[in-house]
Homo-oligomer: A and B are copies of this chain.
């Protein structure tokens, strides 16, 4: 598997909100739609030429029921994804825009360098211009 993706949501005003950014060996999905087996409301877009491995809900459920190790893998992967999603929501409430940019830069340096800056901006809830201003301010500080 190779490449990069984002999942995003389009609100009633036509504005895009990037929910997730994923690179090789990660999962990308409309997770609510996947778990509840209902129609998707998110879009998934490849940001580079990519190769994917697609799995169905029934495949994964069947394999997890059979194989304890796989059940553990998905349990732990989902727990970590949920925990970091909670952390992200709290960061939005408690950190400045600059701190939030620095947090993802520290945690995912390769992703921040690799994907288009407008995707990073949309993930953080910034306009591309605002992200550019933050990056400029940080550069002038160092």
A32 touches B71 (CB 8 A): no
Closest to A35 in B: B83
A55 near B: Cβ within 8 Å? no
Q: Which residues of B contact A12 (CB under 8 A)?
A: 94
A93 near B: Cβ within 8 Å? yes
Q: How far is the CB of A11 from chain B (nearest CB, A)?
A: 5
**Copies per assembly:** 2
Which listed residue, B31, B90, B93, touches A86 by the CB 8 Å rule? Answer: B31
B79 touches A35 (CB 8 A): yes
- Categorize the interface residue count of chain A: 20 to 34
Given A19-B90, A42-B90, 8 other A-B contacts at CB below 8 A?
A: A11-B93, A19-B89, A32-B83, A32-B87, A71-B75, A75-B75, A82-B82, A82-B85
Within 8 A of B (CB), among A118-138: none
A80 near B: Cβ within 8 Å? yes
A101 near B: Cβ within 8 Å? no
